[in-house]
């Protein structure tokens, strides 16, 4: 087999074209899984938070991350506040070591959410910056996949309405909750379509507020599955595959995985991906090197964990959750190097 390019390898896995794949790709998708750690930015002098709002700086930082970590993709944006900002919430861009966050949700209740025009939102805030950076990177590096990463619909809704109120209202104001989720899903799907138009090779969705532990199976099915599918369907019509990351223990919602119309599932470290694959043959899995190990472990242990995942047949190797910005490059490299060592696959 000719060695595939990183883009061919990742898309081969996601499109289930095994004949194109020599080994699992090792990636870090962006958004909540931002890989722009402090050590890289201190070395280069090209820094966040400035890079969150500047196309050229965003491109440069993505290149720095690509070159120094060994991850085989460009993961953009570097945070999960881009969508909430254009929908009206106050955000803080944080600092070099502290990622952007929601300062104040725009609305006290789902009843108060004003539905803004999607096209207007796509022209505002940092959305043009993200799209511009995706375009530049996909043109300058056609063999490297750009993973455009979205904040999941439940997390975005919980960034617009105070989360405690929002979770209660999933129960108490169901109809209105659906209207709000419909609204945020339209924004997210349209943003993803633009990402694809600008050159994104696939779309990743991270929805940390939509865990099985928080929502339980009933609300997960009624809200998370429904709106994630709505976004995923539009992304797939746009022509690229979708990766979904689910935080936490998925025990209570595992039976719902077959209902999710996504191309790969990424999970947290508490979930055994190899067992998940046994239970759902054909499921494409991504993960799940402990981010705690990546921050506090040593290179040997990181490499061993990574090798174990490769040997178990995990399809895409990735951090299990968001990387700490103080994670060292040495440990990230231990992971990416171990994943790239070619071994006969049995």
Partner 1 sequence: MGDKKQLFQDMSDAVVAMDEERVVALARTVIESKVDVYEAIENGLSHGMERAGQLFEEEEYFVPELLVCSDAMYAGLDLLRPHLTQCEGGSKHKVVIGVIEGDTHDIGKNLVKIMLETGGFELHDLGRDVPAARFVQKAGEIDADIIAISTLMTTTMDGMAEVVKLLEKENLRDRVKVIVGGGPISQGFAARIGADGYAAHAGAAVNVARGLMNGDRAHAR
- Interaction site with partner 1 (CB under 8 A): 98-99, 101-102, 163-164, 167-168, 170-172, 208-209, 213-216, 218-219, 247-248, 251-252, 291-292, 295, 321-326
Query: Cβ of residue 322: shortest distance to partner 1, in angstroms?
Result: 6
Place of tokens 């909430």: 84
Q: Tell me how far CA of residue 266 lies from CA of 61, 81, 109, 246, in angstroms.
A: 24, 21, 31, 6
Reference 116, options 189, 192, 196, 186; nearest CA is: 186
Nearer to partner 1, 196 or 246 (CB): 246
Nearer to partner 1, 61 or 102 (CB): 102
The DSSP string of 12-81 is HHHTT-GGG-SS--B---BTTB----HHHHHHHS--TTGGGG-HHHHHHHHHHHHHHH--SSEEE-SSS-
Contact 79, 72 (CB under 8 A): no
Two tokens, residue 276:
């998940």
Nearer to partner 1, 149 or 325 (CB): 325
Query: Cβ of residue 301: shortest distance to partner 1, in angstroms?
Result: 15
Report which DSSP code applies to 161.
Answer: B
Query: Cβ of residue 167: shortest distance to partner 1, in angstroms?
Result: 5
Query: Cβ of residue 313: shortest distance to partner 1, in angstroms?
Result: 26
How far apart are alpha carbons 241 and 234 in whole angstroms? 10
Reference 288, options 26, 20, 5; nearest CA is: 26
Nearer to partner 1, 90 or 278 (CB): 90
Nearer to partner 1, 33 or 273 (CB): 33
Query: Cβ of residue 77: shortest distance to partner 1, in angstroms?
Result: 17
């Amino acid at each position: 087999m000719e060695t595939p390019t990183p883009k061919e390898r990742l898309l081969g896995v996601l499109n289930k074209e095994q004949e194109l794949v020599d080994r699992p790709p090792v990636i870090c998708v962006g958004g909540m899984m931002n890989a722009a750690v402090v050590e890289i930015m201190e070395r280069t002098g090209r820094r966040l938070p400035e890079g969150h709002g500047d196309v050229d700086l965003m491109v440069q930082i993505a290149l720095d991350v690509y070159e120094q970590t060994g991850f085989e993709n460009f993961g953009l944006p570097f945070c999960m506040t881009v969508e909430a900002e254009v929908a009206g919430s106050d955000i803080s861009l944080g600092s070099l070591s502290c990622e952007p966050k929601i300062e104040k949700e725009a609305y006290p209740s789902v009843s108060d959410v004003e539905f803004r025009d999607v096209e207007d939102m796509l022209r505002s805030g940092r959305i043009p910056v993200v799209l511009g950076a995706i375009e530049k990177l996909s043109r300058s590096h056609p063999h490297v996949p750009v993973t455009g990463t979205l904040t999941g619909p439940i997390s975005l809704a919980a960034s617009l309405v105070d989360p405690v109120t929002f979770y209660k209202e999933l129960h108490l104001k169901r109809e209105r909750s659906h209207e709000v989720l419909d609204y945020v899903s339209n924004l997210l799907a349209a943003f993803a379509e633009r990402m694809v138009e600008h050159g994104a090779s696939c779309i990743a969705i991270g929805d940390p507020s939509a865990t099985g532990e928080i929502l339980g199976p009933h609300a997960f099915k009624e809200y998370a599955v429904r709106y994630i599918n709505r976004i995923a369907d539009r992304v797939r019509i746009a022509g690229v595959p979708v990766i979904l990351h689910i935080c936490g223990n998925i025990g209570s919602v595992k039976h719902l995985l077959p209902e999710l119309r996504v191309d790969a599932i990424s999970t947290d470290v508490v979930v055994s991906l190899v067992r998940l694959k046994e239970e759902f043959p054909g499921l494409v899995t991504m993960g799940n090197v402990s981010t705690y190990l990546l921050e506090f472990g040593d290179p040997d242990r990181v490499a061993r964990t990574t090798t174990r995942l490769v040997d178990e047949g995990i399809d895409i190797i990735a951090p299990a959750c968001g990387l700490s910005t103080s994670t060292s490059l040495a440990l990230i490299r231990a992971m990416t190097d171990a994943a790239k060592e070619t071994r006969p696959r049995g």
